Structure 1
């Protein structure tokens, strides 16, 4: 039997174009979701970059200020015996917490750098969110302990002698004063 002649459906070429549009419109619908997804990714990069800068420049410096200036000043002004033993124990605890928090930070830092560069997102993330949450929880507890236990005691001890507070203020000022280049006459 000879092959049947092709049918001449006049609408067939237009049907093909119509089918293409359905696929294109489906992909455009998917693309329309992209702006909403980019906003959180941009925010994540900004937050990660800000945290990287702040932790290195502010928090590490804060720990050094406490350990080099505040803790020794309070210990030097504390009354010998029970008070100085308490100050020493609190300073040791706070210093130990500083090292633990800094170590936790150093574990997070590579992942945060990747997020800040927009290289880390989704399920293959090197940034463990439980580690981030743990660092935040631990730092909040550290700061609360220091605010409730150590700083009021420091105020009481250093407040007994105005020159001790002034010396601490001057020492901190000198530590953070901008360095000027030497001028020669």
Structure 2
């Protein structure tokens, strides 16, 4: 992202906000594709532990922050008509996806927690891969569709940095979250 505001495209403010989330869900998919032995390999155990912690420490909070902070600001600032209708439809879709993804996680979490403790388990690999694939599609939709719209809507409000701040808050690359 450029620091020279004269060269900043509004969509750049929000681009690549899901880098760590995408990385972790790609690793979840890899876990679903892995051959797991008994005893559980230390790298599989460590990955499972990391994924469970990441989900609870980042993903759930990320969903909550988007819904309580970003989504409401975007709806409030959208121009009546097509822009507001589009924003509302996207927010409704994303919120529905959050609930669906959270339900899917609950179906696989117990087995991933067992792996994290080094216990052998018969993973529902198809469910894990499906969860990862659907989450990756969700994050890509936000990156490609919702966040550019959000940036456009918020550009004249002085709040265009809100989305970036929320999304970068939990990124492993430490960036000051006050903009």
Gaps in structure 1 of 5+ consecutive residues: 1-36, 177-185
Which ranges in structure 2 are unaligned for 5 or more consecutive residues?
Answer: 1-36, 171-179
Counterpart residue number, 1:76: 76
**Structure 1 residue 164 and structure 2 residue 152: aligned?**
no
Give the 5 Å matches for 1:86-105: 86-105=86-105
Can you list the C-alpha shifts for 1:106-152, whole angstroms capped at 9, x where unaligned?
A: 1111001111111124xxx1x21111100110011001111111000
> Would you say the 8 A contact 2:39–2:120 is kept in 1?
no
> More helix per residue: 1 or 2?
1
Deviant stretches of 4+, over 4 Å: 37-40
SS in 1 for 2:156: coil
Structure 2 Cα separation of the partners of residues 45 and 144 of structure 1: 28
Equivalent residue number for residue 151 of structure 2: 155
Number of positions where the alignment pairs a residue of Structure 1 with one of Structure 2: 132
Which structure: larger Rg? 1
Q: Which has the higher contact order (CA 8 A, sep 6+)?
A: 2
- The SS at the match of 1:140 is helix
1:63 deviation in Å? 0.5
**Relative to 1, partners in 2 of residues 1:139 and 1:106: Cα closer, same or farther, differing over 3 Å?**
same
Give the alignment's TM-score, normalised by structure 2: 0.67
Of residues 120, 139, 158, the one that matches 2:135 is 139
TM-score by length of 1: 0.65
How many angstroms apart in 1 are the aligned matches of 2:156 and 2:52? 39
